[in-house]
Structure 1
Amino acid sequence: MWPGEAVAAAAAFCGGAVVATALAAFIIELGIIPRFAGITHTANHILLYETCLMLGSFLGNLVSVYEFSLPFGKIFLGIMALCFGIFLGSWIIALGEVVNVFAIMSRRLGLKKGTALIILSIALGKILGSLLQFFLWK
C-alpha cells in the first residue's frame, strides 16, 4: 500500500467513525433509545442499546466502504432486509412520536379519531414500497 492510499484509508476510517458517532448521538439525543427502553420495560439495558447502536453504525460504515459480501444466500438477505425495515420503520415512527408530529397533524386536520389508522397506513405504505422495490426493481 502506498503512503497516499494509507492516508486516504485512515481519513475514510475516521470520517466513517465521525458519521457513525453523529448518527448515534442524534438518535440518542432525540430520546428514541430511552423511549424504546421504556416501552419494553428494559431501562436497565440502555447502555447496551447505545453500545449496539454505535457498533452497528460503525460496522455499517465499514461494510459500505469495503463492500464485502457474505455468502449466506437470498433467504438470509430477505431476513436481514426484514430486520432493517423493522428497525427503520420503528425509528421513523419513534422520531415522529418524539417530535409530536402525529399530535400536531391530528390537531391541524381536526381529527378526533383515526390517528391509529393513519399510523397504520404509513407503516403499510412503507412495507408495500419496500416489497415492491425488493421484488420488482433489480
Structure 2
Amino acid sequence: MWLVSQIAVGAIGLAGGMVVASGLAALMIGLGIIPRYAGITHTGDRILLYETCTMLGTIFGNLFYLYRWELPVGTIGLCIVGLLFGIFLGSWVIALGEVVNIFAIMARRVGLTKGIGLVIVSMAAGKIIGSILFFFYGW
C-alpha cells in the first residue's frame, strides 16, 4: 500500500511539473522570446526543436531543484551556466519590457530623445552588479 501511494504521489508531482513547464514554455512563446531568437539567427525551421528544448529545460530544472541533484562541472562549468542563466533572465526582462512598452513610456515621461540604448545597457549593468553583490555577499 505504501509503495502504491508513493508512486501515485510521484506521478502527480511529475504531471504537475510538466504542466508548469508547459505553461512556462507557452508564456515564453507568447512573449515572443523563442520566435524572436529564431528570427534573429535565421533558424526559424528549427523552432519546434527550440520549444522542445525549452520544455525539457524547465522539466529538468524542476527535477534538479526538487531532488538536489548535482553535476560535477567545477568552477568553469558554474561560470558558463551562470552566464547562460543570465542571458535567459535578461531575455525575459527585455521581452516583458517590450510587451508593456515600458521603454517607450519611460522615454516619453522623462523626455528622453537620445541615448535609449545607453539606458538599456545601464539597466543590464545594474542587474549584473546587483546579482554579483547578492551572490558574493548574500545580500
Q: TM-score, normalised by structure 2?
A: 0.88
What amino acid is aligned across from residue 4 of structure 1 in structure 2?
A: S
* Total equivalences in the alignment: 138
Matches within 5 A, 1:99-110: 99-110=100-111
C-alpha distance in structure 2 between counterparts of 1:20 and 1:27, whole Å: 11
1:60-111: CA deviation from partner (whole Å, max 9, x where unpaired): 1111222111122222112211111111112211221233221122122221
1:51 aligned to 2:46?
Answer: no
The answer as to whether partners of 1:32 and 1:98 remain within 8 angstroms in 2 is: no
Is the 2:31–2:95 contact (alpha carbons within 8 Å) kept by the matching residues of 1? no
2:127 paired with 1:118: no
Aligned CA-pair RMSD: 1.8
Question: Equivalences for 1:4-23 in 2 at 5 Å?
Answer: 4-23=5-24
Please give the alpha-carbon distance, in whole angstroms, between the structure 1 residues aligned to 2:89 and 2:74.
Answer: 22
Match of 1:25 in 2: 26
TM-score (norm. length: structure 1):
0.89
Structure 1 unpaired stretches of 5+: none
Deviations 1:6-60 (A, max 9, x none): 2211111111100000000011012221112222222222122111111111111
